[in-house]
Amino acid sequence: MKPLMLMAVLVLGTGGIAVAEEQLYWVVGNRATNKCEIVTSNPVIIGNIWFGDGPYRSMADAELARSTIRACPKEAPAG
């Protein structure tokens, strides 16, 4: 019985760690810079931050979302 309980504690404990380490991303509109930025913490919509969208599970997903949000200005091509 004790080995079974120990196994359950280990499985549940490692699952909690995996969830805690997951990185999430949000797209936010910033009035001060007139840009849409990708941040890694849940944004507070106040002051210069006028919208937030997310969370997204990867940076690539957040970048794709930013490219489809009409309020986000298109970045000028480099060069």
Write out pLDDT tens, residues 43-55: 999 999 999 999 9
Q: How confident is the model at residue 79 (pLDDT cuts 50, 70, 90)?
A: low
Which pLDDT belongs to residue 5?
Answer: 53
Mean pLDDT calculated for residue range 33-59: 95
Residue 59 tokens, joined = 């940076």
Residue 47 tokens, joined = 């002051």
Residues 6+ positions from 64 with CB-CB distance below 8 Å:
none
pTM to 2 decimal places? 0.67
Q: Which residues pair with 38 in a beta bridge?
A: 27
Instruction: Sketch the domain layout of the chain as residue ranges.
Output: 22-72
- Is pLDDT at 14 greater than 80 in this prediction? no
Query: φ and ψ at 15, to 5 degrees?
Result: -65, -40
- In single-letter form, the type of residue at position 36 comes to C
**Residue 15 CA from chain centroid, whole number:** 20
